Every structure is written in structure tokens, then in C-alpha cells.
Chain A
Amino acid sequence: MNNIHSPESEVTISFCAAAGLGLQTAEDLARQMLSKAGYYVFSTREYMSRVRGGNNSTQIRVSTKPVRAYVDNIDWLFALSPELRSNITEKISEKTKILGDASAMEGEISSLGRKMIDLALAKRAADLGSPKFSSMIVAGFIAGIFMLEENAADELIEKRFSDADLSEKNKMAFRTGHQLGKDNVGGKAVLTTPDKPAGNEIFLDGNSAVALGAASAGCNYITAYPMSPGTGVFSYFAKNAKLLGSVVEQVEDEISAINMVVGAAYAGARSMTTTSGGGFVLMCEGISLAGITETPVVIHLAQRPGPATGLATRTEQADLELALHAGHGEFPKALYAPVNVESAFRLAGRAFHTAHKYQVQSIILTDQYLLDSGYDIIRPDPSSIPAPLHPVKTENGYKRYAFPKKGEYVSPFGVPGYGEGFVSFDSHEHTEDAHITEDRSLRKAMVEKRLKKLEALTAEAVPPIVIGPEKYDTAVVCWGSVFEPLKEAMEIIGCKNAVLVACEQVYPLSEEFRKIISSPCRKIFVEGNATGQFSRVVRSLTGTGADETILKYNGFQFTVEELAEELDKLLSVRS
């Protein structure tokens, strides 16, 4: 059951190395050339919270079929720095080939009871002129075991190294590795020739997908205070600010980050801020400000394990209840939880659309795993994201918080300097024209005006992804990035009577989801936290939650194998 890995269809490569070794080059090249050669490639990273040293790893899963999730299996382990961590050594199996420099690693590998293949990288790289060429030898080796041509990466190398001499030397290093790889597999490729149709695909990771989805929705003002893993989206905007036409500002703290995007949105920008749990907490008062002022803003909350600093570079899904209750007082908001890369692109756009259509706050809940994982997706179309809603031209006597007409949920959105009206903004309870009031009946009416939007948000909530038989007795429920590993696990165990229900929106809940939850089936919630937060939220909103849970909270995503095993165990015991 555990042996989900079929050698005929896929190969998993893990790279382990200290931070700062420049291994990224080998990973990027391997991924790009294998994808170009027609294989399906999934890659994910896990890393320690340090700039140099330590031991980080990247998993690249290469397959002749689409793959999109993290697995335990390792076929080829490039152990390039000493002190492999247990999350790797536990996964070394009989068939794992371990490669690296015997001079650096032999003792450690033999203490694991294993033998290693010596690539003598340090010596070979030095012979080529610099220790930096190790990475390129590894990339070449991978090309070799897949029997790609020795020039498979030439174009990519030329793109990366503009200096002709450096480019030539790197090509030589690649060829050195290529020969070693070919020899290692005796001229027989480790995987059959792929049959992936040459299609309109692009490799995208979660970070780029969130950023591009937001940009497609017209995001033109982004702020952040650097915090892993929320910074990737911000860096993407910073790097491409000119192309995207966006204000990009690294601010002094997360309080400034949220207040600045609220000010920007008041003046008509489509603004977003990105952070992780600790920074998000600092934003809560600002989110409340956006709530009472009905200012559309998007907050990207990239989850990592807490409390406090927790595990700074790891993954978890434990900020759902925080996000749901963020901000003092009562006001509606929308919470999205992208389940994979395509979903991240689409929902980032959706978050903007909802925020502006209903003048509310959208929170996009991702996590380190989702943001740092990528695979080939059908090239997303920026025009598929709803076009931005532009503000109305105000008239003399315009009231920013005018009570909506019957059947409508919002006051027309005007901005200062466009039209003949004053557009005011007040953090106090306010009158229709945005001035301080303590009038009791007005207060009540304003609270109701804001909360009424929840009706519309519910009606437009994204329905869950449901995969499985029409008739079922068990619903396996997840949200966010658990989706892909869970989907693959359920495919492997071949659930006949269970459906997978994945929520891309976790608040408010869609009618479709409520229907499934209120049906008399057995409910198993699978979540990346210790207490089953989504189950608790669902129970509080619907009266029904999980019958059983599968939870993980050690800082890593579920692997396909472990979910298959856990779920199979649960499903084999009838409730």
C-alpha cells in the first residue's frame, strides 16, 4: 500500500546542501531541462532559518504523468553537505542512490549503513577552475541519467551567464557531469521517454502565482515588512514593479504596511500587503480600520508555524481562526485558501474582485509549502481575472457611506479628487458623510449595513472542489495546500465510498459546502495544524464538524505516502 512509487513512471531527486552553496542553479536547471524534455516536474523546498550553513533540501519529482505533491520517496539523493537532517535520513530506503563527495560525506553515509557514489565534485570543480562549478556538474549528471543530450542546458546556461567565458566553463562542467551520469546508468535512461504533449505550459510556484493573480486584478500598490514566508510575493512585485506599474514599498513595520494600503485604497489604488502570522497580528487594528471604513484591501497571510517566532521557515495551517477573527469589532470579510498553484493565481484575483465589489477585506491564506512549491501549469490567462471596478465620479453632496439602495449592498465608491463631492473616511462610527457620530440608531444602522454584506459574500462564496463518486458515505475535507497530497493519496488507496472535499474559500462557507457538511456522511478533516481549526470553524457555523481528524503540525507538509497510510487506516475501520 505504501509503495505508491512506481519506478516505471517516476523518479524523485532530492538535493541536500548547506545554505549559500549556490545549489539553486542545479535545481533550477534540472527542473527546466527536464520539463523541456517533456517530463512532468514538481519541485518543493524546505529550508532552515539561517543564511549560511545548515542543511536545506529541494525535492524534484520527475514523472511521465502529472505530479503535484510532496512524497517521502527518494530515488537519487545528492548529499552535498554534511549533517543531513532526520527528515531526509528517515526517507533513505534500500533503493535510494546517495551521491556526493566521498571526501566530505563518506563517514556520515556509512554510519547510516549505506554506501555512496563518489562524484568527487570538489576535485572536478577545482580542475575546471572554481568550486562553484560543482552545482553545474550535478545538473549535468541529472541530464546524463535521463539520457538528455549533452547540450540540453546550453541555452539555459547562456541565459544565466552573460559572460561568454563563464558560460563556456559552465557548459564544460555540465558536460563533465553529463558523462558521469550517462556512465552511471549504463546508457539507459532512468525513465521512459515521456509522452507529455507539447502544450501551452509554464512552470510556476505559489509565490509567483499569488503575485501574478493579484497583478492581473490590477494590484498597483503593495507594502510589506519582510517576514518569511510572506516576502516572496513582495519580492516578485519589487523585481517587476515597472512592468506591473505598481507602487512597492518596504515599510517600517506591519502597522504601517496595513495603514498605508488602507490609505492607498481610500484614494483608489488596488492595494495589497503580504506578511506571515506575527506580522498579521500587528495588522489587526488596521484590518479593523478597513472594516469600519469599508475600504477594500487584500492581505496575503503566508502561514508558518507559531506561536510567536515558531518555526520561521516552515509550513503550517494554524492561522485560520486568527484570520477569521482578525480585527476588533464585528465586520464581514472573505477568507480564501488556495489549494494549489492554479488556485493561487485565480484566488488572488478573486480576492481583489470581492474586496472591491463589496468594499471588504479579503485575506488570502497560503503557507510556506504552497509558496515554495511549483510545477508546470497551463499558462494562466491574466484576462480570466475579473477586470477592476473603477470608482464612481462623485457629485456635489456625495456621501461615502450612503445607505445602499434596496437590493444593493454597498455605497457607491468615490475617491478624493474625482468628481464634485467630498470623500471622507472615519475610523469612528460615522454618519453617511463620514463624520463622527454617537447617535444610537445610526450606529445600529451602520453595523447592519456593514454586516449585511455577509449575505452577498455567502452567495458568491467559492464552492468546494469535490472529487469522488456521486454516492458516498464519507467526506474527506481539507482546505488550502493539503489538497494535492490528499488527492493523490486518495487516488492511491482508491476510495470507493469517499469523496474529497477541498475548500478554496474558508469563510464565509458556500451553500454547496454547507450541503455536504449537513448531509449524514462521516466527516474526516485533514489539516496542517494541531487542533482541527477548520473543523471547529465549520462546526461553529453549521453545527457539524469533523467526526475524525488527521492533523500534522511538525512544520512539514503531509507527504502523499503518510496521508495514504493514515487515511487507509481510518477508512478501513467503519465508523
Chain B
Amino acid sequence: MIKTAFDYTGEISWCPGCGDYKILESLKMALSELGLDPMEVVVASGIGQAAKMPHYLKCHCVNGLHGRSLPLAAGIKASNRSLTVIAVGGDGDMYGEGGNHFMHAIRRNPDITNIVCNNMIYGLTKGQGSPTTAIGMKTSTQPFGVTSKPLNPLLLALSCGATFVARASAADAEKTKDIIVKAIKHKGYALIDIFQPCVSFNKVNTWQWLLKSTKWLDEGRDASDKLEAMRLSMETDPYPLGIIYRSEPEKTFEENQAPYQTNDDTPLYARNPALENIRKLLA
């Protein structure tokens, strides 16, 4: 593995063979390739196995509540625009507990990158069905098989107005790294749903399944056609991998906020109360 400025040397509590190791590697390589200083990177997460990732990186680690990393990340980004903010978590965290925030974060369009480690199962709580688990999969809490339809995060993101939507795979760390680099560079909210196996609890979507059931899209393709992106999002077996949709960046959440409308990027921590203006309001 390549050494990066983001390498953490302590213990990692993921299961041996977990897809999260590969995603962590892709993320570190991407941050490194972008030449970012760890002091300017914040990785925020919720709760779950994937949500432990910020602890395994040398940068500002933010580990909040289950499902709540997106509002946390938007709060951080709008307080200090010079920070690179990444929100990372699993499918249960982002699409289940945090489903409402997922939709509205996309509408809000903060300049953050959202990495979802999608293993289609709950790992930390030991193997219950998640919002992306396939119908029929038997789990400890759905012993007769999952009956709810799996959520389609790419299609949902497109319908909420995301300007960067991608799917990657833990089975290809290099290509996943390339997508993360592009997502971080993209101004505004960017979603990367990353397929990964759960070696302990998901006996269906395994490493072999991942290789067999996905195909990489041509890298040079024009990804700006939204209807085509929606069609691709609905394709299964093989599931397309790569940048599904990328359009011109739009005004971000931060740019729309009053403190930043005068080309003043001073972080909020360094600002003082607007005493003179408050006096005007009291005049």
C-alpha cells in the first residue's frame, strides 16, 4: 500500500477482508493525489462500521450520531469554507436513519463529498436488512426474507437535483480513487455510492458477486445527460459503475448564505458580532 500523509497507524476494528479497508485506501490515495494537507480535511461520519472510517485517517475526525453526518458536515462546511469536508457512512446510516437528511442535503447542495459504503446489510448491529438489501434475503430480523423493496440511491439523488452522482466498487480501489478525486474537485454536493461486500453478514453480495454483477462505464463518456443517468441508475445485473451523472456545478449552500455574499470567506470563528448593525436595528 502506498504511504500517504493521511495514514493512521493504530488498531482497526473491521473484520478481516472487509470492503471498508479498500474504500479507506481509495480515500487516502485520493486525498493524497489532490495534495491536500490533513489539517484542512474534515471527515465526518455517523454510526456503523463504515462510520468508523474517520478514526482510521490522519485528519480532523468527526464521528457523530447514527444517520446525522450530513447536517453535521453541512454545519462544518458553512462555518469554514476553506475546509474540505467529506461525509462517510454506510447504507443504513445514510439511507435509513439519515434518509431524510440525504434527500435534503442534496437539495441544499453544500460543497461536500458524500461517500456511502453500501454493503446492503447492517454490519455493526450484526446482520439485519438495510434499505438496500435485496428482496428475499434472509437475515436475523427478517428470517423469512426481506419484503421491502431496496432503495435506489442513485435515482433518488438524481431526482433531488444532485450534480455529481457516481457508483464505485471496493473491488477496484484505483478506479474508486479516481472517482473520489473527481467528486472532491466537484463544486457542490457529490454522491459516491460504493458497493462493498460484508464478509460477515452478507452471503449474497460477496466479492465474487461484485466482480460478476457490475461493469465499469466507459471513462470518456459524456455523463451530462440526466435521463440517460436515470436509465443507467435503474440498470441491474450488471450494475453500471463509474460517474453516472455530472453536470455544471450550481450555487452551493454556503454561497447562498449571508456571511459569504460579499466575497468574504473569513471563517465564522474569526468573526465578531455585527454590533453597529445591531444598533441600527435598535434605532
Q: Kindly state the separation between the CA atoms of A436 and B47 in the bound complex, as whole angstroms.
A: 12
The answer to whether B60 has its CB under 8 Å from any CB of chain A is yes
Contacts of A420 in B (CB 8 A): 39
User: Which of these, A248, A268, A434, contacts B269 with CB under 8 Å?
Assistant: A268
Looking at the assembled complex, report how far the CB atom of A529 sits from the nearest CB atom of chain B, in whole angstroms.
Answer: 31
A217 close to B273 (CB less than 8 A): yes
Contacts of B270 in A (CB 8 A): 268, 390, 418
28 A-B contacts (beta carbon < 8 Å): A218-B272, A220-B271, A242-B258, A242-B261, A244-B274, A246-B259, A247-B257, A247-B258, A247-B259, A249-B78, A256-B71, A256-B100, A262-B75, A263-B74, A267-B80, A267-B269, A268-B267, A270-B268, A271-B75, A285-B65, A417-B60, A422-B58, A422-B59, A422-B61, A424-B62, A424-B63, A425-B60, A435-B61
Looking at the assembled complex, report how far the CB atom of A371 sits from the nearest CB atom of chain B, in whole angstroms.
Answer: 17
Q: Kindly state the separation between the CA atoms of A435 and B52 in the bound complex, as whole angstroms.
A: 10
Query: Total contacts A to B, CB within 8 angstroms?
Result: 207
Instruction: Convert A421-451 into 0s and 1s, putting 1 for each residue whose CB lies closer than 8 angstroms to a CB of B.
Output: 0111111100000111000000000000000
Q: Report the nearest B residue to A423, measured CB to CB.
A: B60
Q: Kindly state the separation between the CA atoms of A253 and B73 in the bound complex, as whole angstroms.
A: 16
Contacts of B282 in A (CB 8 A): 202, 212, 379-380, 382
B-to-A contact residues, CB < 8 Å: 10, 38-40, 42, 44, 47, 52, 54-55, 58-65, 68, 70-76, 78-80, 82-83, 100-101, 103-104, 108, 253, 257-259, 261, 267-275, 277-282
Q: Kindly state the separation between the CA atoms of A218 and B82 in the bound complex, as whole angstroms.
A: 21
A-to-B contact residues, CB < 8 Å: 202, 212, 215-221, 240-249, 251-253, 255-257, 259-271, 285-286, 289, 379-380, 382-383, 385, 387-388, 390-391, 415-418, 420, 422-428, 434-436
B271 close to A245 (CB less than 8 A): yes
A221 close to B79 (CB less than 8 A): yes
With A217-B273, A268-B269, A383-B275 known as contacts, the answer to whether A263 contacts B73 (CB < 8 A) is: yes
Q: Kindly state the separation between the CA atoms of A331 and B156 in the bound complex, as whole angstroms.
A: 39
Contacts of A245 in B (CB 8 A): 258-259, 271, 274, 277
Contacts of A286 in B (CB 8 A): 65, 68
Contacts of B258 in A (CB 8 A): 241-242, 244-248
Looking at the assembled complex, report how far the CB atom of B227 sits from the nearest CB atom of chain A, in whole angstroms.
Answer: 27
Where chain A touches its partner, the secondary structure class is mixed
With A380-B282, A436-B52 known as contacts, the answer to whether A259 contacts B64 (CB < 8 A) is: yes
Q: Kindly state the separation between the CA atoms of A415 and B259 in the bound complex, as whole angstroms.
A: 19
Q: Kindly state the separation between the CA atoms of A244 and B259 in the bound complex, as whole angstroms.
A: 8
Q: Kindly state the separation between the CA atoms of A252 and B106 in the bound complex, as whole angstroms.
A: 12
A427 close to B61 (CB less than 8 A): no
B76 close to A266 (CB less than 8 A): yes
Contacts of B61 in A (CB 8 A): 422, 424-426, 434-435
A263 close to B71 (CB less than 8 A): yes
A266 close to B75 (CB less than 8 A): yes
- Going nearest first, the 7 A-B pairs with the smallest beta carbon separation are A268-B269, A263-B75, A263-B72, A267-B79, A264-B75, A252-B104, A241-B258
